A and B are shown apart, each in its own frame.
Chain A
Amino acid sequence: MEDQKKDTVKMTGSAAVMESFVREGVDLIFGYPGGAIMPVYDALYSYREKINHILVRHEQGAVHAAQGYARASGRVGVCLVTSGPAATNAVTGIADAMIDSTPVVVICGQVGSTLLGSDAFQEVDVVGVTQPVTKWNYQITRAEEIPWAIARAFYIARTGRPGPVLLDITKDAQFGSLDYIYKPETFVRSYTPYPSVDPGLVEEAAMLINLSSRPMALVGQGVVLAGAEKELIEFLDKTGIPAAQTLLGLSAIPSKHPLNVGGLGMHGNYGPNVMVNQSDLVIAIGMRFDDRVTADPKRYATSARVIHMEIDPAEINKIIHADVPLLGDVKESLPMLTGKVSKNDHSKWLEEFRACDRVEYKRLVEREIYPDKPEITMAEVVRRVSEAYDDDAIMVTDVGQHQMISWRYFKFKQSRSVITSGGLGTMGFGLPAAIGAKLAMPGRPVCLFVGDGGFQMTIQELGTIYQSAVPVKIVLLNNNFLGMVRQWQELFFDHRYAHTSLINPDFQTIAKGYHVPAVKVTRREELDKAVKKMVSTDGPFLLEVAVEKEGNVFPMVPAGASVDEIILE
């Protein structure tokens, strides 16, 4: 007790927030000031040499930027916002981070504790509102709680299955003073972030793998979150098992890896979708059988045993029954499994995937990337940009047709190169997320693909790009439509285009207003030159391409169908 007293320093709650950030290694936060968070902003002013603050234009943008930062770097993204409307604006980003397992800590201001529950100015029950969309949240009403709560917030956000944590700090707690001492959190008794791997189940899984003649790996973001890319490749290389990836799992395996068989799900590749119902053993690695992956789960992996390698017990048997539920961190369980499996070769089975690839190329890919019509396709733009970056950029997307096309046609050499809103499908995610990704990884090119609909949901973040000089490359694939909804209207609602046509502003003028250099391409022959210009420009750039107005994303697994009923055109 004596010793402890010696180590403490008297400071305000607000200073304690900053000091705790420094102790957690935070050097960048995204935020927007306002009444109830002003004491913390005042403390930030004193810490401005240690902590950089990016002033966004809307709190949703702050959270998406923090998500982009976290997804690109693996570090915890941090946001600072005020109470009431600021906190509710942040909710969309928090929900997105929750469903996509992104480590984010959101600090929001709250009215003074004596005013709680009195409908005070800018008061919202933020803890109540965010309860279902946070991994943990907590309201701090006394300055002494701040170091404990922040230590716990960071620990919970980044460990186990990561997720967003929100701390709601009343204004009096920010103003109050405390004897500060910081102890990083290492244990919460009601929380088991890393369930221990059962060696018996590893044996069982290895036996199934050794006996299987048609095994298939489904790789999810869990591999990336665990930093187990190397362990995955070792497992795949030893067993020779073809590996497909989910939307968020993409880039965990390099595009050119010989066992990479492409993307799963609604707009994934033909091979992995069809073959999952031919497979006799599905090894799900850090993925959760999202409904966009499985389509009709009753007709998914119909002839396969299932090994589910997963860190979150709540995912086991949630959608697809696991014959071997292999709980634990895949960074730990994959090497155990690799140690137990025999060296194998499945080239004949792999060839069946390649045959599907050839069908997909012939019937679809070829005409998408080398179209014989005058209209520019999204796919050809994506492929040109990917090539211009030597297939080694961080690809950020918004949500919609362009997202699926970018995901299908962009190529990757290293992990953490796909940043997209998967689970929540949040339009407006892209632009701020790209800002965060670029600030996290200044040494890597960051290229955003965005549609004309989603762009306008967070377009004000161009102001952030200008003010903070963030060199994000923006490729706007403009078809003057809410394209994905229009596609569904065309296919499933008898061409009744209810409110999907957009009369857009002149994006070139908007970019000019924000001092972002921009080029617009309307003809194919201008494309290469424009892409080159974007790549060679220092700083931010907007490349707008007028793409085919009513292009559709294929392949497609229609809603309610089985994955093997995927249609190619």
Chain B
Amino acid sequence: MNLQNITADKLVGLYKNRDLTATEVITSLYEDIERTDKDVHAFLSICRERALEEARRLDARIASGEPLEPLAGVPVAIKDNMTIRDMTTTCGSRILENYVPPYTATAVERLRSAGAIVVGKTNCDEFAMGSSTENSGFFVTRNPHNLDRVPGGSSGGSAASVASGTSVIALGSDTGGSVRTPASFCGVVGIKPTYGRISRYGLVAFASSLDQIGPIAKSVRECAQALEVISGFDHFDSTSADISVPEFVKDLDRPIKGIRIGVPKEYFVAGLDAEVRAKTEAGMRIYEDLGCTLHEISLPHTEYAIATYYLIATAEASSNLARYDGVRYGLRVDNSSLQDMYRRTRHSGFGQEVKRRILLGTYALSAGYYDEYYLKALKVRTLILRDFQKAFEQVDIILTPTSPTVAFKIGEKTGDPLSMYLSDIFTITQPLAGIPAISVPCGKNSENLPIGLQLMGNHFEEALLLSVAHHFEKAGGFTV
């Protein structure tokens, strides 16, 4: 039994036909985790007893002929920045090492209501701050395609788990590419939906105006299945959008002939790896063969995106992370006075990258610099949003590579924070504009490392986005 070659649909079908029990699947899955995760290190924690208990209950229901939920018995992994009641939620940070939340994130709750079985919590960059999962306060996750490479970040554990078959679907979160980059580096599918599509209740805040949960899976269909289940208004998150959720799965096979695909010239510049470029162009030809039309477009403010993002995201983070002061959550380093306790706790609990970002964000918000940095970044954000609004008047979908390179080597960029930030260039603008984007596999390079193709849509156009991605998969785009 290897989950690497099985889809959610197939699994549910096998249960229905009584070819396989959920208990068998979950038991063998934990054997796989034991075998592979000592190398990959995708999981921060597992919940074997709880998962087996849920599997046994499902098997009893199947035996009595009860109808099954759409994701009944499908093993899912959850990035460790989403809360699950009574399960440690660390966000990859020592400061939350022993934090056990009293409630469950809405997205996780909905996934479980749809029958999914949570098998564990996955590793990530501390508080989702990073592009490689090397910033975890616990250990580095490795890319299942090549253990010397990073899995991408910050949802590296979730993508690595799906790629190594230790979960069928995983949830990640995306603030500046944290679902799409790891999906691209690990050769799987990952979608960041429109801001507001999924409730952020129970997603530990990094940058509240950008954060969005997104599913990762091996196929577009499974991502659509998960997205359909977890989307929708939630009165625990006032920024969740109160609009209806389309039937994404039903809509996957809608015809895409005549769809206008924009290719922004600003993404095909120096720094884009030649092999990534070649595969992206091969992907573009597939769309031409499918009857779509390609159009060169311009997103002129792309070059300002990283500066804008790293000011806004760090400013919001510096405010959000003020709550980790040793009083209410996890770690406390005791000291004689309250101020000392705050400072010592934050000193021993936060890692280097988190401290760096808190300092940068605090600086950008501090008196004398607020207008020059933070406010200016918010204004440039308006220009970036307008770029997309103009583009979507001309085209339906925008196509780019997901990342300018394939997965880089572990340790390659850790000494130079700015070079790590610059690697995010293609996945930064979409959260700033709040639009949805998906990364799908688009072949491999000469070293057998996966390459990702990114597709973006207008606000709340996930149904179109998913169907365009699904047609690409059906046409063999994943192995182009």
Are these two chains actual partners, yes or no? no
List residues of chain B with CB under 8 Å of any chain A CB. none
